[in-house]
Amino acid sequence: RADGALSGASVIVSAGGTREPLDPVRFLGNRSSGKQGAALAAAAATAGARVTLIAANVDSDVLASLPAGVDIEHVSTTAELEAACTAHASSADVIVMAAAVSDYRPAAAAQHKMKKTGDDLTIALVENPDILRGLVELRDAGRTRTGQLLVGFAAETGSHDTSAESLAQAKLLRKGCDLLVFNDVSGDRAFGHDDNAVVVYRAGADGAEEVARSEGSKAHVSNDVIAAVAAERSR
Binding residues for CTP: 103, 113, 129-132, 153, 171, 175
Q: Interface with ligand C5P includes 148 (CB under 6 A)?
A: no
Q: Which of 17, 34, 37, 152 binds ligand C5P (CB under 6 A)?
A: 152
Please state the closest distance from residue 82 (CB atom) to ligand C5P, in A: 8
Q: Is 153 in the site for ligand C5P (CB under 6 A)?
A: yes
CB of 196 to ligand C5P, least distance (A): 15
Q: How far is CA 118 from CA 115, 121, 197, in A?
A: 9, 9, 45
Task: Give 72's contacts (C-beta < 8 A, 6+ positions apart).
Answer: 52, 53, 55, 63, 66
Question: What are the distances in angstroms from CA 113 to CA 10, 25, 84, 131?
Answer: 42, 7, 28, 29
- Can residue 154 be called a binding residue for ligand C5P (CB under 6 A)? yes
36-44, 54-62, 97-105, 192-200 -> range binding ligand C5P (CB under 6 A): 97-105
CB of 153 to ligand C5P, least distance (A): 4
Cβ neighbours of residue 68 closer than 8 Å, sequence gap 6 or more = none
> How far is the C-alpha of 228 from the C-alpha of 115, rounded, in Å?
50
Catalytic status, residue 196: no
Q: How many CB atoms lie within 10 A of CB 85?
A: 23
Of 17-76, binders to ligand C5P (CB under 6 A) are none
CB of residue 203 to ligand C5P, shortest distance in Å: 14
36, 218 Cβ separation under 8 angstroms: yes
Binding site for ligand C5P (CB under 6 A): 97, 99, 101, 103, 128, 130-132, 152-154
